[in-house]
Amino acid sequence: MNSSEEQSRPAEPRVNGPGTLGSAISRAAGFFGFWLVLTGADADDLAAGLFAAVAATWASLRLMPAQQWSLRPIKLAEFALHFLRQSIAAGIDVALRALDPRLPLRPDFVVYQTRLPPGTRRDTFCAIMSLLPGTLPCGPAAGNGLNIHCLDVTQPVVEQLAAEEALCVQALGGAQRND
């Protein structure tokens, strides 16, 4: 295989590497704990639970390889409170728009140029965006963009998403791209 073929091939997920053992242990513990909750910690099901936890851990490491996160607990708590306030306010806005025909509803797509590189942090940001009423990430756009469906394109959606992304990066750690 020549070097151009190697460069064009997508990278295989790494199952071993820095932080993988700690990630595997914490994931396995989480999966096994979830199993215990589901089965009521029945002793008859422990062997099956251990097997399921190992299989789920292996699959999760293949699908989402271990990464270093630098969570900032205080910023994460602030972000969670901000997210809760934002969700309530946006939910009320969506409900009012749905119930009052006089309020504007101009659904369309906008392109948001994210500064997060592709990967887990961007996926986390997209998941958070999808939980806020009125915005829904719908896929990639040109460049480093994301197609975002919104209920009212006359609102400053792109500016709001940039502020949300900055808060997310502060809470979860990691660097944004410098374009």
The number of folded domains in the chain is 2
Please report whether residue 149 resides in a domain: yes
Looking at the predicted structure, is the pLDDT value of residue 178 above 50? no
**Does 82 share its domain with 41?**
no
Q: Within this chain, do residues 98 and 41 fall inside the same structural domain, yes or no?
A: no
Q: Residue 109: what pLDDT?
A: 92
**What's the one-letter identity of residue 108?**
D
Task: Based on the fold, state whether residues 101 and 79 are members of the same structural domain.
Answer: yes
Q: Given pLDDT bands bounded at 50, 70 and 90, which one contains residue 174?
A: low
Q: How much of the chain exceeds pLDDT 70, in percent?
A: 80
Instruction: Answer for the pair 144, 114: CB distance below 8 angstroms, yes or no.
Output: yes
Same domain, yes or no, for 79 and 100? yes
pTM of the model: 0.57
State residue 102 phi and psi, 5-degree precision. Answer: -80, -20
Is 17 a residue whose pLDDT tops 60? no
Residue 14 confidence (pLDDT) above 50: no
